[in-house]
Structure 1
Amino acid sequence: MSDVLQTPQITRQAEYAASSTQDSSRSRVEIIGVRHHSPACARLVAQRIRDSRPDWVLIEGPADFNPRLDELFLPHTLPLAIYSFCSAGELLHRALWSPFADYSPEWQALQVGRECGAQLAFIDLPAWHDAFADISNRYADVNDSEQERLASAYEAELGRQLGIEGRDALWDHLFESSTSSSSDLAELSARLRQYFINLRGTDPGSASNQAREQMMARWIAWAAQQGQEGQQQNRVLVVCGGYHAPMLAQLWPSIEPDIRQDSAAPATPDLHESIAGVSDGSIASTVATGSYLLPYTGKRLDAFHGYASGMPSPAFQQAVWESGLQQAGTQLLQGMMQRLRQKKLPASTADLLAIHVRTQALARLRGHVQPLRNDWLDALAGSLVRDALDAPLPWTYRGPLRRGTDPVLVEIMDVLAGDQAGQLAPGTPLPALLHAVSSELLALDLQPPFSESRNITLALLDEADRGKSRVLHRLAILQIPGFKRLSGPNWAMSGERSEQWQLSHPLEQQAALIEAAIYGATLADAAIARLAEQLAHSHGASALAQLLNRAAQAGLPAFSPGLLSRLHEAISSESRFEVLGQPLAITHGLYRHGHELGMADAPALLELLQLTLDRLLWLAEVHGSVSAQDSNAHLAAWQALRLLLRDAQASTGLPLGELPITRALAVCQRKARHPQAAPLSRGAALGCLLSVAHDDQQQADDIHSAIALLSALPPAALGDALQGLLALARHELIHVPAFIATLRQLVSALDEADFIQALPALRAAFAWLPSFERGELAQQILHLLGSTASPRTLTAPLTGLDAETLARHSWREKQAVAVLGSWGLK
């Protein structure tokens, strides 16, 4: 094995190895490179601290958290994480997690270091430094593409030589089979050292890694020089990611620290000089930073759920840490079999025996003294998966499970992820936002229950309930778990008068509120900042209108001015008719009820409404086909126009009444008559005219036009035109005998082929009729046919097949009868 790990990196190897020899000038410093969340590395770190009893234990972690290290020793339930954030107005939001589990080497360094009386310190850069600008996880295995390329190349070659596929399987094979015996730990230490030397090679690292390593090297050099007067220099043990270890061994002796015994620890870089945009003045806002402990979960740690660092299958790693490899496999196997039986998936006693036999056989074949994680998993797959796989085995890659993964494997991976959930100890400092939210929920009687969920119904026209709705919508903007909207209006003022919410208290709620502190100290401020962040990444009139709608639902008028300006630009450049329906509807609703929502900038909304209407009418003059996926949005745009025209007609003498109603009606008339316009558009335009007709004579003329339109269209276009008519004017048409009679005649005149072609669009058209109106239509059709049958005979489903399938089968049957008839067979 040692031959496989050897490479020509002799210089770097010597430098790193010297950090733990006992006869060199560096003998007071020991650097242990680890893989984050590795039980084997955690055992090694704990044992080395107990054996060497160093004066200082230095750990890769946020140096600005050092004054608050005592918080980590409160009686928490793991896993947990240090959550650090940095924000500056709308332009800068950074967040970084530093997670810990029982089997994390960093956690063991903290716990055993304090147990042995060592001084403890985190020695990495703070989370707000530019070195972490593109990193969300401090303990990621790789932090940049160059590091990933080097690591992948080395591990691929090592795996090829050893005949092992996959990074995690390779790591387990090389390191995780070590026991706690002194000889095994000594061999583990040597292997880790050689492995990380080869992994890093001569790569100087990215700029961010270089900055971090300079900071850590300064800490090591400083700690090595500390000690009481007349005594030897301090013994220092360093725990860091293995990628950094070889470079730190080379860097720290070259640092020239202040060797005075009372010299201060290395200073944290200046906040304003370490953030691009702040240092050059392009970000003028005050920079806010903070770090808090937050509860974590096993699933968030799991590499198969997207976590960028450490060991996969947290429940398995926890069991290994607590009980050892053999017991861990047996315990997890029992849990898996129970889960599979609960899900009614194959898991018999014979399967259990087969899994044990396969696991032991695979372990021996691969040279493992005890079965490793992959031995168990491969045996499970071989014993329980009956069919060919549509996706790779989940443990052969990183990231979320791929589509097509066998259900048995999905359940196995979920059991391995575990259901561990961290919990903060009482008295742990929490951000102001969490306290503010708790106070608001208490004052409004919206506290989620700790046991079962509860549902509430809010009357949106009641001021007290409207206030509750705004708070809940603000929590939804921040994506806080436990506040789920079950029903209610999609638009801020759509006419619906109530909404339902489900309140609960999931384990993730506290963590989500702590993480949301990056946006502000109060719920309103945080929601505004979150919307502003979304605004910076939103493009197009539809997406911006949705933000305006969410701001209105949450009662956040302070957010609106900048958004309205962006909407002006987006609407002015929009080239698709369908896209403008939603902005028109939202702007119209907010203008009519803006004061009720706290959005008092009605003149600005009226200006936006005029701009949107003008652009919509201009685009309506463009003739062309409407794709199937755009049909609903196309009709929604016509419906928004119809509602606005109705409102404008009823607002004579008011600003809304000054909208160009005459122009809009003229556009509808031209659209309805133009032969090159899409049938769906022609029907919708004519339906709009019918719906806003102000006298009986005009409505009669428009009904005659509707009949003429349907009669003049080819069978393939009949359903589309009817869909446009019913979507816009079903109330005006469904009770007109002449229209129903014409429609019946046109459908009856279709031959089999034309009927099958027109049927999907006809069904889509009649879907606009509620069940009661469909019954009325059926009654009129039966009356025209002279039948006394119940309307249910036409509206009730006859079989389990859909109408298109029945029509096709009927047509094919008639074709077959015709062929038989041509041969004289009846």
Structure 2
Amino acid sequence: MLQDTLTPQLQAARAKFAGDDGIFWAPIRHHSPACSIYLRQLLDSVQPDAVLIEGAVDFNRQLETLLDAQTVPPVALYGQNSFYPLYDTSPEWVALRWGRQHNKSLYFIDLPIADKAWQREDREHGGISFLHEAYLQHSEFIRKLVQTTRCRHGDELWERWFELRRFDDPAQFFGRVFDYCTAARLTYSEQAIADSGDGARERFMRGEIARHAGKGQRCVVVTGGFHTYALLDWQNAPSHKPQQASPSWLVRYSEDRLDALSGYSAGMPVPGFYRRLLQWRSDLPEYGVAEELLLQVLADLHQHPLFRQQMNTAAKQAVFYQAMQLQQLRGHAWPGLYDILDGLRSVLIKHDAAGDEPLLKQACSLLAGDRLGQVSSALPPLPLVDEVYRLLKRARFKLEQTTKVTTTFTIRQRDNERLALLYQCRFIGLGFAEKTAGPDWEHGLHLHLRSEEWQYAWTPWVEARLVDLSLTAPDWQSLLNQRIQEQLAELRDLSLAEHQKFFVQLLLMKRLDLAHELWRQIGQQLNDCSDCGQLAEFLLLLLRLRQHQNELFEHYAEPIRRVVKQAWQQLMFMLPALNSLPTSAGLRLLLQIREITRECAEALTDDWQNAWQARLHWLEQYGELSVALRYACLALLTELGDGGPAELCAALGKLFDYAPEAAYQAVNAVITVTPYYLLHDDALGLPALLNRLLAGWDEERFMSALPELRLLFSHLDPAAVEKLGDTLCELNGWQAAPPLFNADVDEHLLLQARHLQQQLAAQLKADGLEHWLEPDE
């Protein structure tokens, strides 16, 4: 029914298409090998004066750059956050190269890239594509054809009808493409086409065709087949005024970005395969294409360990035979992509496989390719692009392919420059690299790790990002400086935590020299900060970074020393605010300060230690603290030599006599800050007090406190736990427990312990006791 309604319109359109008006139409599918082959034949036959190509008129300024002999596809013309990709299989690329070879006029004829009609195009990979075929692929006509021919989708239908058939001449081929595309187009209303922005583009292209053909030139017009129908009436096109060209650049592009399977609507699926098909069809006699193509495909797959493992010689022979038989059965002139995939499915997959079978997806990924094009070095370098490319090359990064590369850096002096460059790229937001593992320097976590893992890839979007950034800065150093100053301006009204994060970023980038204002801002933030926890975290981070990244501190020792001193003084000044904190937060703050004093044993003066001890005295006597925090301060004073453990335990013992629950909170706090006091095994020591406390509890009270006690004891090492167990056995007259701690621990025992820990965690969760577990278990 649909075919019947389209036939009269198609017949009328075909008459115009075949008319003799000096225009030769080449309706194409973008990146199609068959279109490229027959376009070359058409151009050789017609020998036109000019070749008109679908593509923004702004790109005419880039023709010399584009046609340089050293430029190797895939490349793309880039402007307004959008790409116009060109590939070996692109008919547009064939037209451009043919025009240069035969000294013919070449013109892009589509709307300027700044026109608002482009904003209605489908967005692809985060930006607009100047080529798209979504309307063609999703038309009602194509959908019904797919059902009728029992193809899987429109891509297989196109391959069977055009890529794998022989045609007598270009006129026959392009006539069939015109019928196919026009029938698809006529299922849409003119309003839908206008709303998409295609109507405005086609009006403009008609005007450009009329302008060039009106000079008496014989023209070949190369456009997407969906548009050709609307261009036939070029003689009645309204004229338009020339517009000023917007800036555009030629950048490297990549095969993976051209893959229809990755979402590029104008692409062919698995572009690397069709590049091979075009190569063999161009270079070999027709009878040799099938064998060479299949052998090359098998060789490409064999490079991957997955296929090397599964495809022995017999399997490769079987895949070869199956693909050849499918080609002949389906009446194809040579094997197509789906003949090969079906051959792989038949030989290597021994179960009922869905269309997204992982093995077939892997085959498509391998055959798609990851080659990155090249722009001639003889041309003026793009702003920033050339400089950053050289910087990364000099730092030994692999930039030839767009597949992500995983690399590990050991944190040592010789890796610092390479790491600093990656941190700079991340700070600017290039999208070149991302950190996947290693220390979290910004928050001071996992600093014991001695290596970092990164993934990186040089992609078209990296180049495009650099092109856009070059409009604001002429070189990399200027760009960094500009962004750092912008960030400093934004930080003025933000917290100390944000300043701390930015400081670490600059340190890792080795660009603290560009942020003199940062020291003043941090000083102001320290003066204004009333959050003791934030002050302590800031100091701890600086001290930990100095320990693990000491070489990065060498040039900033004096300003860092001043900042540390100021932060310490402010922390001591604000410490009375400890009484406003919950017990857990207060204990955490005291432990942080204790860690600071230990980390600074060599760096801090006696005055600083004295200030800490004096503050603890003041807090214990006048701080109006909770029982737990007051005894935590007493324990820390005892640790500093102000009194002894016996005096501390005596004070706790008195508390037991009239407030057992408060005594438990106090013991809990003392164990938290000084857990090694549990190892004092005298009759009045902490184990005896704890034993006395637990003896007075009923089972319900004990079970409710057990997770908390378990966490307390986790601060002890295995030898200390065993000693505490012996002490408790002696206090209660129990039989001595068997030895738990073995000093001769090897890797096998550690793995066993980890396995037991996992089993215990699983059992506790099964019993509904998740609250007994620490958060990271």
What TM-score do you get using the length of structure 2 for normalisation?
0.68
1:701 to 1:168, Cα distance in 2 relative to 1, 3 A: same
Instruction: Identify the residue that residue 46 of structure 1 maps to in structure 2.
Output: 40
- The one of 160, 185, 190 aligned to 1:200: 185
2:232 matched to 1:249?
yes
Deviation at 1:512, TM superposition (A): 3.3
2:580 matched to 1:667?
yes
- The one of 502, 523, 545 aligned to 2:476: 523
Note if contact 1:340-1:347 (Cα within 8 Å) is conserved in structure 2.
no
Deviation at 1:605, TM superposition (A): 4.5
2:290 matched to 1:373?
no
- The one of 471, 485, 492 aligned to 1:557: 485
2:53 matched to 1:67?
no
Rounded Cα–Cα distance in structure 1 between residues aligned with 2:564 and 2:373 = 59
Rounded Cα–Cα distance in structure 1 between residues aligned with 2:69 and 2:225 = 29
Rounded Cα–Cα distance in structure 2 between residues aligned with 1:798 and 1:700 = 39
Note if contact 1:493-1:589 (Cα within 8 Å) is conserved in structure 2.
no
Whichever residue aligns with residue 468 of structure 2, its letter is: I
Instruction: Identify the residue that residue 322 of structure 2 maps to in structure 1.
Output: 358
- The one of 26, 35, 39 aligned to 2:29: 35
2:91 matched to 1:141?
no
2:256 matched to 1:299?
yes
1:598 to 1:11, Cα distance in 2 relative to 1, 3 A: same
Q: Which runs of 5+ in 2 are unaligned?
A: 282-288, 544-560, 597-611, 621-630, 637-647, 728-735, 766-777
Rounded Cα–Cα distance in structure 1 between residues aligned with 2:706 and 2:140 = 59
Rounded Cα–Cα distance in structure 2 between residues aligned with 1:341 and 1:729 = 54
Whichever residue aligns with residue 755 of structure 2, its letter is: D
Note if contact 2:51-2:107 (Cα within 8 Å) is conserved in structure 1.
yes
Instruction: Identify the residue that residue 551 of structure 1 maps to in structure 2.
Output: none
- The one of 100, 103, 108 aligned to 2:86: 100
Note if contact 1:431-1:514 (Cα within 8 Å) is conserved in structure 2.
no
Instruction: Identify the residue that residue 217 of structure 1 maps to in structure 2.
Output: 206
Deviation string 1:84-115 (CA, Å, 9 cap, x unpaired) is 234xxxxxxxx222222221110111122333
Deviation string 1:588-622 (CA, Å, 9 cap, x unpaired) is 979999976725245655666788866x99xxxxx
Note if contact 1:475-1:523 (Cα within 8 Å) is conserved in structure 2.
no
Deviates more, 1:216-225 or 1:116-125: 116-125
Deviation at 1:654, TM superposition (A): 8.8
Instruction: Identify the residue that residue 154 of structure 2 maps to in structure 1.
Output: 167
- The one of 482, 492, 501 aligned to 1:586: 501
- The one of 9, 18, 21 aligned to 1:20: 18
Rounded Cα–Cα distance in structure 1 between residues aligned with 2:17 and 2:255 = 35
1:491 to 1:503, Cα distance in 2 relative to 1, 3 A: closer
Deviation at 1:757, TM superposition (A): 11
Instruction: Identify the residue that residue 355 of structure 2 maps to in structure 1.
Output: 393
2:517 matched to 1:600?
yes
Instruction: Identify the residue that residue 223 of structure 2 maps to in structure 1.
Output: 240
Whichever residue aligns with residue 338 of structure 1, its letter is: H
Instruction: Identify the residue that residue 311 of structure 1 maps to in structure 2.
Output: 268
Tell me the SS of whatever aligns to 1:430.
coil
Rounded Cα–Cα distance in structure 2 between residues aligned with 1:351 and 1:786 = 63
Rounded Cα–Cα distance in structure 1 between residues aligned with 2:47 and 2:507 = 73
1:592 to 1:424, Cα distance in 2 relative to 1, 3 A: closer
Whichever residue aligns with residue 152 of structure 2, its letter is: E
Instruction: Identify the residue that residue 155 of structure 1 maps to in structure 2.
Output: 142
Rounded Cα–Cα distance in structure 2 between residues aligned with 1:657 and 1:65 = 62
Deviation at 1:765, TM superposition (A): 7.8
Question: Which structure carries more helix by proportion?
Answer: 2
Note if contact 1:363-1:371 (Cα within 8 Å) is conserved in structure 2.
yes
Instruction: Identify the residue that residue 620 of structure 1 maps to in structure 2.
Output: none
Deviation at 1:18, TM superposition (A): 0.8
Deviation at 1:730, TM superposition (A): 7.3
Deviation at 1:339, TM superposition (A): 3.4
Note if contact 1:84-1:291 (Cα within 8 Å) is conserved in structure 2.
yes
Deviates more, 1:197-206 or 1:694-703: 694-703
Rounded Cα–Cα distance in structure 1 between residues aligned with 2:16 and 2:420 = 63
Mapping of residues 451-462 of structure 1, within 5 Å: none
Whichever residue aligns with residue 662 of structure 1, its letter is: P
Paired residues, number: 661
Deviation at 1:474, TM superposition (A): 2.1
Rounded Cα–Cα distance in structure 2 between residues aligned with 1:603 and 1:213 = 59
1:41 to 1:640, Cα distance in 2 relative to 1, 3 A: same
Instruction: Identify the residue that residue 820 of structure 1 maps to in structure 2.
Output: none
1:256 to 1:492, Cα distance in 2 relative to 1, 3 A: same
Deviation at 1:187, TM superposition (A): 3.3
Instruction: Identify the residue that residue 98 of structure 2 maps to in structure 1.
Output: 112
Whichever residue aligns with residue 157 of structure 1, its letter is: K
Note if contact 1:332-1:416 (Cα within 8 Å) is conserved in structure 2.
no
Deviation string 1:440-466 (CA, Å, 9 cap, x unpaired) is 789xx8576999999686669xxxx99
- The one of 5, 8, 11 aligned to 2:6: 8
Backbone CA RMSD of aligned residues: 5.5
Tell me the SS of whatever aligns to 1:359.
helix
Deviation string 1:694-739 (CA, Å, 9 cap, x unpaired) is 4376545468899999x999xxx99xx99x999x857887877766
Whichever residue aligns with residue 374 of structure 2, its letter is: Q
Rounded Cα–Cα distance in structure 2 between residues aligned with 1:742 and 1:244 = 89
Tell me the SS of whatever aligns to 1:428.
coil
1:775 to 1:349, Cα distance in 2 relative to 1, 3 A: same
1:641 to 1:736, Cα distance in 2 relative to 1, 3 A: farther
2:720 matched to 1:803?
no
Note if contact 2:23-2:213 (Cα within 8 Å) is conserved in structure 1.
yes
Deviates more, 1:308-317 or 1:358-367: 358-367
- The one of 365, 377, 394 aligned to 1:414: 365
Whichever residue aligns with residue 299 of structure 1, its letter is: D
Rounded Cα–Cα distance in structure 2 between residues aligned with 1:747 and 1:807 = 24
Deviation at 1:57, TM superposition (A): 0.4
Deviates more, 1:755-764 or 1:338-347: 755-764
Note if contact 2:439-2:445 (Cα within 8 Å) is conserved in structure 1.
no
Deviation at 1:322, TM superposition (A): 1.4
1:806 to 1:432, Cα distance in 2 relative to 1, 3 A: closer
Rounded Cα–Cα distance in structure 2 between residues aligned with 1:514 and 1:811 = 53
Note if contact 2:27-2:177 (Cα within 8 Å) is conserved in structure 1.
yes
Note if contact 2:526-2:570 (Cα within 8 Å) is conserved in structure 1.
no
Deviates more, 1:410-419 or 1:313-322: 410-419
Rounded Cα–Cα distance in structure 2 between residues aligned with 1:439 and 1:638 = 42
Note if contact 1:84-1:96 (Cα within 8 Å) is conserved in structure 2.
yes
Note if contact 1:482-1:503 (Cα within 8 Å) is conserved in structure 2.
yes
Deviation string 1:384-435 (CA, Å, 9 cap, x unpaired) is 123454xx424xxxxxxxxxx52x3243123211243322333023212135
Rounded Cα–Cα distance in structure 1 between residues aligned with 2:699 and 2:93 = 75
Rounded Cα–Cα distance in structure 2 between residues aligned with 1:739 and 1:127 = 78
| Sequence identity percentage | 21
1:459 to 1:249, Cα distance in 2 relative to 1, 3 A: same
Tell me the SS of whatever aligns to 2:752.
coil
1:191 to 1:688, Cα distance in 2 relative to 1, 3 A: same
- Structure with higher Rg: it is 2
Deviation at 1:557, TM superposition (A): 3.3
Rounded Cα–Cα distance in structure 2 between residues aligned with 1:60 and 1:588 = 50
1:747 to 1:68, Cα distance in 2 relative to 1, 3 A: farther
Instruction: Identify the residue that residue 547 of structure 2 maps to in structure 1.
Output: none
Rounded Cα–Cα distance in structure 2 between residues aligned with 1:319 and 1:375 = 15
Tell me the SS of whatever aligns to 2:242.
coil
Note if contact 1:12-1:246 (Cα within 8 Å) is conserved in structure 2.
no
Mapping of residues 466-505 of structure 1, within 5 Å: 471-477=421-427, 478-479=429-430, 481=432, 490-491=441-442
Rounded Cα–Cα distance in structure 1 between residues aligned with 2:153 and 2:692 = 68
